[in-house]
Structure 1
């Protein structure tokens, strides 16, 4: 982006010089052109700083962008988990993700690389240029804290997806010494992530932020998740379990307005965006970008105001749906994460869908509900961190650090209580059984939120939907495709075009 700006404005300046020189306006040429959008002239006011950080937030929405016919980028982290399947199968890249036959040319892989590094690039511009702006110090510190969070968030995806990745911390141009960066070790990447988040903690951010901007609670939640991940594969820094527990406990002990919603319907109620359980989300508004989860609609069934529509390219794998206890409220029709019937055209007569579909991201305000037509404006956010995950991070990390104690038990029980599930007494658990109880709740509570794949990798374990046990990652058969996971699947391939363009990059094993 920086290169294009300079190139284009350079051509404009050259043309202006020729034109005005012929007119003899030498005095005017000594004036500074206020319309020149070069970094040196742009980053001069508080408004510029706010615009720059807004661009980073906007870039983060790449997660919801399209990835070819009947597919979106977010399916990249769902299809390989075995928890979903498709009833259209018309996108070859998506089919390859489902069948574990994806490669370095798979569109979703390319889109995630480009999306992640665009967030990083624009965050780097903020961190490089905003400190020099003469503006309110507290406002500047908050913007820098937000940029550090968003850069850490992007690198956290990158290091878990590809392992060793290029570590870029300064704005790049064709003249940069590291224009062809090599891959940095995962330890180096995690070191930057932790440093960024630690500095963001001290940036004076509000505890919560109903506008959807980064908050102190969001920073601590991401840091707890980072520590939990570092404690698992491949780093195996087990001392980080205690760090994860401590950081999650800070959120729990200082929750304030943060709480578990009373019902699962509130999780996808657009009027509750950025409130209650929602700690951090990707922001969507129909005026700019509407919620991108439409690929979870059934295939050409009239469940919305649009009538028969939808693609059915992401539906629950039936064995995963069946793995929920029949009494689990999350399994109940139109009450939890699934629906098996809905109202014709969103607001008409109830009709049977023939199978379960994913209700977790269904916006009843936009699409309609019984007797109430939809607004046709899907302003529902895409959740990144919910308070439910904080409780599960704490329960898992505290158990790993100190065994199953009362506080860890209470965190797990809160999740199960809302699902209306009985929880065995604390005394009935040992460390291993409590560990697997928490893992099971992660699969059931956080499903369809782009988290399960990363649990599979850091644990090197996969929930077996038919047995309720946890299989080793390598050799586990995904029931949506009857294909077994291999060692190479612990990492995704780097996009082939990136390797062609950058001779400093190498490919992950097996691709």
Structure 2
């Protein structure tokens, strides 16, 4: 991600030097600022305080870096995203050939997520409602379509990382993604690695009949969308299962990388963030329709499942929203960040048997020792490591 930040810095510095239409120039710089903000957004949640690099480093600058307080990183993310929102296009303003580029809605969505981390409910609500009121996005009628080829860059997509499989035996060739490979079904014909498996705790968390479980979990014996069947790969693994949302059809000769886009922000995520922010602002009457919009899509035409939530007590509704985020966004790399901002990471991990999880330590990753050594200790280790 620091490589992405370095590339963004280089582009931000040099794009204005190229003779071109001013609107296009500003938009391209805005896209780069979004990508820089997105990289810092991930890094600050993984590691906490960070080297805050916003220009192209020269010479010994590489080795003089120190960690800046996360509040300063948050401020830089906010600045970059605010700048980006001012110059980016809405989704429907892009030509079909440019579908997948960063949009105004994507920048608003990431900024809303930042405000949720900071518990700035009013600003988070405002960003979410700007997205909703823009009429640029809608829920796909069928939940599972979000994670198939047909759903890529679709009506529900606010931001996704584009990928294409290439004829290479590298784990990630240019433009390809190891995302599918690492989580893919093991064994023939998929030849995936089978990591990031749905847990028992997740599987039993769905309400009876919730179709989202089937769209999220691949079970042994299941017929996949391409007609292949998942077979037992390891008899030592009980209840072997895989991440359906990362599944792509097998591509002979392309086993080491996948063509599936990575869905980063979906419209349902925005609806649930808006509901959560409104509930924290004691607007349960406005939060409920947003929450129930997500549940309505999930149940489809089966009115015997997933009834509307009607509770208006703030504490009870908060728990309903938390639960809905878990099942709606399961296996989409949102859960851990949610647990962190809710302050529940340690208690949840210990409750599911991760007794070696140390609160105050394992919420963050350790700083690689190589980074500490390269800076002669200027970059320091996280607590308790």
| Higher mean displacement: 480-489 or 387-396 | 480-489
User: What whole-Å deviation, never above 9, does each CA across 1:304-338 have from its counterpart, x for those lacking one?
Assistant: 4x5xx333333211122111122111123xxx212
1:397 equivalenced with 2:285 (yes/no): no
Aligned with residue 183 of structure 1, among 67, 70, 77 = 67
Does the alignment pair 1:477 with 2:350? yes
Offset from partner CA, 1:443-481 (integer Å, 9 cap, x none): 11112111111111111115xxxxxxxxxx357426365
Q: Indicate the SS of the match to 2:281.
A: helix
Aligned equivalents of 1:317, 1:175: Cα separation in 2: 46
Structure 1 gaps of 5+ residues are 1-115, 232-239, 463-472
Where 2:30 maps in the other structure, the secondary structure is: helix
The DSSP-based 3-state class of the residue aligned with 1:171 is coil
**Displacement after TM superposition at 1:496 (Å):** 0.8
Q: Are the structure 2 counterparts of residues 477 and 273 from structure 1 closer, same or farther at C-alpha, using a change threshold of 3 Å?
A: same
Alignment deviations for residues 140-166 of structure 1 (CA, whole Å, 9 cap, x no partner): 001100011011111111111111111
TM, length-normalised to structure 1: 0.65
Q: CA deviation at 1:413?
A: 0.5
| CA distance in structure 2 between the partners assigned to 1:367 and 1:281 by the alignment | 21
Could you tell me how far apart the structure 2 residues matched to 1:401 and 1:345 are?
Answer: 42
2:157 aligns to what? 278
Match of 2:139 in 1: 260
Is the aligned partner of 1:435 residue 2:318?
A: yes
Of the three residues 174, 186, 198, the one matched with 2:59 is: 174
What is the match of residue 211 of structure 2?
329
- Mark the CA change 1:348 to 1:242 in structure 2 (over 3 Å): closer, same or farther: closer
Taking the aligned partners of 2:32 and 2:65, their CA distance within structure 1 comes to 22
The equivalent residue for 1:419 is 298
Question: CA shift at 1:226, angstroms?
Answer: 0.8
Q: Contact 2:198–2:241 at 8 Å: present in 1 too?
A: yes
Distance 1:175 1:410 in 2: 55
Tell me which protein shows more strand as a share of its residues: 1
Distance 1:312 1:204, change over 3 A: closer
CA 182–281 in structure 1, closer or farther in 2 if over 3 Å, else same: same
Which string of whole-angstrom CA distances, capped at 9 and with x for unpartnered residues, describes residues 163-193 of structure 1?
A: 11111111001154x7512111111111111
Q: What is the rounded CA distance, in whole Å, between the counterparts of 2:381 and 2:205 in structure 1?
A: 37
1:355, CA displacement in angstroms?
Answer: 4.3
1:150 lines up with 2:35 in the alignment? yes
- 1:33-72 to structure 2, matched below 5 A, reads none
Does 1:338 pair with 2:338? no
Counterpart in 2 of 1:3? Answer: none
Mapped contact 2:216–2:331 kept (Cα < 8 A): no
2:337 aligns to what?
454
Answer whether contact 2:181 2:258 (CA < 8 A) is retained.
no
Task: Specify whether residues 297 and 130 from structure 1 end up closer, same or farther in structure 2 by C-alpha distance, changes over 3 A only.
Answer: closer
Give the aligned CA root-mean-square deviation in angstroms. Answer: 2.7
- After TM superposition, give the deviation of residue 490 of structure 1 in Å: 2.0
Q: Distance in 2 between matches of 1:278 and 1:291?
A: 20
Equivalent residue number for residue 192 of structure 2:
310
Correspondence for 1:251 among 119, 126, 131? 131
Structure 1 match to 2:111: 223
**C-alpha displacement of 1:122:** 0.8
Q: 1:478/1:117 Cα in 2 relative to 1: closer, same or farther (>3 Å)?
A: farther
Partner residue in 1 for 2:180: 293
In structure 1, C-alpha distance between the alignment counterparts of 2:225 and 2:87, rounded to whole Å: 48
Q: Matches of residues 493-504 of structure 1 in structure 2 within 5 Å?
A: 493-503=366-376, 504=378
Secondary structure, in 3 states, of the residue corresponding to 2:264?
strand
Gaps of 5+ in 2: 167-174, 234-238, 300-304
Deviation at 1:290, TM superposition (A): 4.9
Q: 1:128 to 1:413 in 2, by over 3 A?
A: same
Q: How far did 1:345 drift?
A: 11
Q: Give the SS at the match of 1:327.
A: coil
Matches of 1:217 and 1:265 in 2, distance apart?
Answer: 23
* d(CA) in 2 for partners of 1:265, 1:136: 41
Is 1:476–1:485's contact at 8 Å kept on the other side of the alignment?
no
Q: Are the counterparts in 1 of residues 31 and 102 from structure 2 also a CA contact under 8 Å?
A: yes
Q: Match of 1:357, SS?
A: strand
The verdict on how the C-alpha distance between 1:391 and 1:485 changes in structure 2, with shifts beyond 3 A counting, is farther
User: How many positions carry a matched residue from both structures?
Assistant: 360
Larger Rg: 1
Contact 1:325 1:331 in 2 (8 A): no
| Deviations 1:408-455 (CA, angstroms, capped at 9, x unpaired) | 1111111111222434553x3200111111111111111211111111
Question: 1-side partners of 2:231 and 2:380: how far apart?
Answer: 53
